[in-house]
Amino acid sequence: RSVLVSCKIEGRALGDVGADVVAMMDTLDLGGARWELLGDIPDQAESFSSMIIAILIAVVLVFLVMAAQFESLLDPFLLIFLVPMGMIGVVFVHLITGTTLAIISLLGILMLAGIVVNNGIVLVDFANQIRREDGFSVPAAVLEAGKKRMRPILMTASTTVLALLPLALSSGSNSDIWSPMAMTVIGGMVFATPLTLLILPVMYAGMMERHARRKGVIDEKA
């Protein structure tokens, strides 16, 4: 014998309602009866797990592709740090707007990872190129790359933000579905872009000079 209780949710996040139901049921004496949550709540938990695995796989694949293209593990290691930089903006925009992290937000994080890494590639690749071809020192290459590649990076960020802004501000019937994804990408881009132009060059210069000193020590010992 079983009893099925169903309801619709309005104005609250599915996860919050599920947590309240679990807390309420734990306080009841059911006389040995068993209960479980069905429907969207377990489906959501499974979807969250799948999306998190997809994001981790995407980051690993991006790292492997960059390692093959740069023929180095150091540059991809620097560029992967742009993903958590973008996550700062994701957390901030969700706190400001009071939006719950949903499946569609994780899809936005997946998109954001590719965009912010692409901006970093533009900067790092140009710095490597002028160091290799024109003999620039590491500090000079970082400054030159920042000046020459700042406009393309800002153009990429601004076009992405402006393109998603109507979707983020939409109040249509499906706005609650797509708006979190747009806000996720916008928040990540707004925070990751200045950090790409400020933090990434500093990290690049520091790690490259440390790598050069370590290589010099090894060559002297050899």
Q: What does the pLDDT look like over 15-43, one tens digit per residue?
A: 677 778 888 877 877 777 888 887 777 77
Q: Give the tokens for residue 43.
A: 């489906």
Q: Express the helix, strand and coil content of the chain in percent, nearest 5 each.
A: 80, 0, 20
Give the pLDDT confidence score for residue 216 in this predicted structure.
59
Contacts of 77 (CB under 8 A, 6+ apart): 63
The pLDDT value given to residue 215:
62
pLDDT value of residue 86: 84
Smallest CA-to-CA distance from 43 within 63, 3, 14 is with 14
CB count in 10 Å sphere of residue 152: 13
Phi/psi of residue 81, nearest 5 degrees: -65, -15
Q: Do residues 93 and 183 touch, judged by C-beta distance below 8 A?
A: yes
Residue 222: per-residue pLDDT: 46
Return mean pLDDT, the chain.
81
Per-residue pLDDT tens digits for 76-113: 888 888 888 888 888 888 888 877 777 788 888 888 88
Is pLDDT at 221 greater than 60 in this prediction?
Answer: no
| Residue range 168-210, pLDDT digits in tens | 887 766 666 778 888 888 888 888 888 888 888 888 888 887 7
Q: Which two tokens stand for residue 48?
A: 């969250």
Over 60: is that where the pLDDT of 167 sits?
yes
What's the confidence (pLDDT) of residue 173?
Answer: 66
